[in-house]
Amino acid sequence: MNLQDIKNEIHYLMTKTRPLSNDDTARLKNLFIEEYRLEKGIVTYHYDKELSIAELQLAAKTIYAQLKQTPYRNNLSQIDCPAPIEVGEDWKNFKVPTYYNPYSSCFYIETPNFGSCHYSLSDIPQILELDSSLFLKSAQDTFRKIYTTENVCDIDDANNLVYSFILINSSITNYFLRIAQELDIFSWTAKYSPCFFDRNRILNFKGWMSPVMLREIDTHLLNIGKRYLIRDFAMQLKYLTFWVGLMDTYTFPNLQDNFHEVYAILVFYLLSNYANIYIYDVVSECKPVSKSDESDSRGSESNTTRLKIFFTNADDKPRLIRLDLPHKDHPYVHLNIEEFGSSENIHYRLSKDESSPGEYDNVFTSLVEALRVNNYYSLSTRHSPVSDDRMVFREMEYWTAMYNFAVPAIGYSLIGNNESINHIPEVNTARDKLLILLEEDGIPIKEAMQLNDAELFEFADKSIRKNALIP
C-alpha cells in the first residue's frame, strides 16, 4: 500500500458511524505504524506466509545489502529463500522503494509467525553480512560432492573450500570487530574470530592439492589419499558453517529473551575457547524431548541432549560437545564436553534455573532448523543414544589414522616411489593404529600385517566406509 491508500483507510475507519471492532482497532494501529514509517522513509517488507528464522535472516541480509548498496546486486539469483510481497516471485526483481530515505536507521520485516522484526542500518552490525550465506551455500555444493559421490573432487572444489573458509571466517570476525570498535571496547588481546587465519596451513593444503588433483595418472593409493586430504580441510570448514547457523539464530531480533541469553553465553564460550577445530559430525536428535517430565525427573531416556558436535583439536583426540536441556541435578540449559578415554567432563552452564516445566524445551530448535535449512551437508539427524558416541569416536580414530597415513603416502606416490614408506615415523604410528583398530573389528592381525601400504590403506578405507555412521 502507498501512503495515500493508508491515509484513505485510516480516514474510513476513523469516520465509521458504528463503534470500532477489536479487529478494526488492531488494523488502525498497524495503519498508523505504516503511515509513520512511510513518512519517515523507513521500509517495511511483508510476508503472507510463515518463515523459519534461517529464511528470515537470509532475507534480512539480502535487503540490508540492497539498501546499503553493497556489492551483491548481481548475486540475487543465489538467494535461496522466499522473497517478500513487495519484491514478488524473484529476488532479481528487487528495487529500492522510491520513498526510502537513505538516512533512515532501520527497516522492518513482518511475518505471520514473528510479527514485526526490526533490523538496524547503523554502523553497529545487527546481523552477519550477506557473503556469509552466499559462501555457506557455495560450501554446501562442495560438501555434496565430497560426501555423496564416489568421484574424487577436483582443484576447483579444493579452492572453493579454501575461499569459503577465509570469507566466512572474515565475515564473522568483521561482525565482532565492528561491534567492539563502535562500542569502543576493542582490545588487542581479545579474540574476535572463530578461527585463526593460518596462512602456512592453507598454503600447505593448496600446495598438496594442486599436484594431487592435477595428476593425470592415478593410483588407488593416490585416489584414496585425495579423499582424506580434502575431507580433512572440509572438517575445518564445517566448524565455520556451523557458526553461520549459530550466528543467524543468536542475532535474530525477535528471539525471546531467555533463549537469547543462552545463545549469547554459547557464542562467547565457543569464541573464547575454540579455533581451527575439525568437526567430524553435528548430530541433531530426532526423537522429541519428553515434555511430560519435569526437569528434575528427566534422565538420558528423555532425549534432553538435542545437539552433539563431534570434533578434534590439533592433538587428534576425539571430543564431543553435547547441548543439553535441563534434567535431573542440572535444572538449566548447559553444555558438556567429553574427551574420548577420559573420565573428566567439562560442564558449562548456559541458562538460569528453569522456572517452569518445559521453559527451555525449544531453545535449540531454531539452531537445528538453521543448520538443516542452510547447512544440510554438515548435519546428521538421527536418534543418538550414548552407545552411539563410542562408535563415532572409533570412526574418528580411523579417520585420523587414515589422514596421517594419507599425506606421506600421497607424497611418495607423486614422486613415483612405490616402495615402502615405513621409515617415516608418522606412517609407522598411523599404520600401527590402523592395525589395532582393524584387529578390534575382527580382522586377524597377522593377515593385516601382510598387506603393503597401498593395500592396507585401501582395506581400511573400505572397512570405514562400510561400517560408518557418518558417510
- Whether 159 shows a pLDDT value over 90: the answer reads no
In the chain, count H helices and then E strands. Answer: 13, 9
In this structure, what are the phi and psi dihedrals at residue 45, rounded to the nearest 5 degrees?
A: -110, 140
CA dihedral 410, 415, 421, 423 (to 10 degrees): -120
- Whether 94 shows a pLDDT value over 80: the answer reads yes
pLDDT computed for residue 213 by the predictor: 66
Read off the DSSP letter of residue 455: H
Asked if 375 contacts 242 with a C-beta cutoff of 8 angstroms, the reply is yes
Q: Determine which of 275-279, 385-389, 456-460 has the lowest per-residue pLDDT on average.
A: 456-460
pLDDT computed for residue 83 by the predictor: 94
Cell 538443516, located at residue: 372
pLDDT band at 282 (very low <50, low <70, confident <90, very high): very high
Cα–Cα dist 81/262, whole Å: 27
The mean pLDDT of 313-325, rounded to a whole number, is 92
Q: Determine which of 114-123, 325-334, 389-398, 445-454 has the lowest per-residue pLDDT on average.
A: 445-454
Which candidate, 87, 94, 85, 2, places its Cα nearest to that of 48? 85
pLDDT computed for residue 277 by the predictor: 93
* pLDDT tens string 247-263: 999 999 999 999 999 99
pLDDT computed for residue 255 by the predictor: 96
Considering the chain, what percentage of its residues have pLDDT values greater than 70?
Answer: 89
Considering the chain, what percentage of its residues have pLDDT values greater than 90?
Answer: 39
Cell 579454501, located at residue: 162
Cell 528487487, located at residue: 94
Amino acid (one-letter) located at 188? W
pLDDT computed for residue 469 by the predictor: 64
pLDDT computed for residue 353 by the predictor: 92
pLDDT computed for residue 201 by the predictor: 74
The mean pLDDT of 344-353, rounded to a whole number, is 92
The mean pLDDT of 360-369, rounded to a whole number, is 94
The mean pLDDT of 149-173, rounded to a whole number, is 84
Q: pLDDT: is 8 or 419 the higher one? A: 8
Asked if 438 contacts 254 with a C-beta cutoff of 8 angstroms, the reply is no
Cα 123 to chain centroid, rounded: 25
Mapped onto helix, strand or coil, the DSSP state of residue 45 is strand
* pLDDT tens string 428-461: 788 888 888 888 877 777 777 887 777 777 778 7
pLDDT computed for residue 214 by the predictor: 63
Q: Give the pTM.
A: 0.88
Q: pLDDT: is 275 or 39 the higher one? A: 275
Residues 6+ apart with CB under 8 A from 261: 351, 352
Which candidate, 351, 362, 279, 377, places its Cα nearest to that of 320? 279
- Whether 367 shows a pLDDT value over 80: the answer reads yes
Cα–Cα dist 190/193, whole Å: 9
Which candidate, 75, 79, 77, 87, places its Cα nearest to that of 43? 87
pLDDT band at 56 (very low <50, low <70, confident <90, very high): very high
pLDDT computed for residue 470 by the predictor: 62
pLDDT computed for residue 218 by the predictor: 56
Which candidate, 46, 30, 48, 37, places its Cα nearest to that of 3? 37
Cell 587414515, located at residue: 402
pLDDT computed for residue 349 by the predictor: 96
Q: pLDDT: is 49 or 421 the higher one? A: 49
- Whether 288 shows a pLDDT value over 80: the answer reads yes
* pLDDT tens string 398-431: 888 888 877 776 666 655 555 556 567 777 788 8
Q: What is the mean pLDDT of the chain?
A: 84
Q: pLDDT: is 374 or 471 the higher one? A: 374
pLDDT band at 151 (very low <50, low <70, confident <90, very high): low
Residue 323 cell numbers, joined: 547441548
* pLDDT tens string 190-216: 999 999 887 777 877 777 677 666 665
Cα–Cα dist 34/99, whole Å: 13
pLDDT band at 346 (very low <50, low <70, confident <90, very high): very high
pLDDT computed for residue 31 by the predictor: 72
Cα–Cα dist 16/311, whole Å: 65
- Whether 72 shows a pLDDT value over 70: the answer reads no
The mean pLDDT of 379-394, rounded to a whole number, is 90
- Whether 149 shows a pLDDT value over 70: the answer reads no
The mean pLDDT of 354-383, rounded to a whole number, is 89
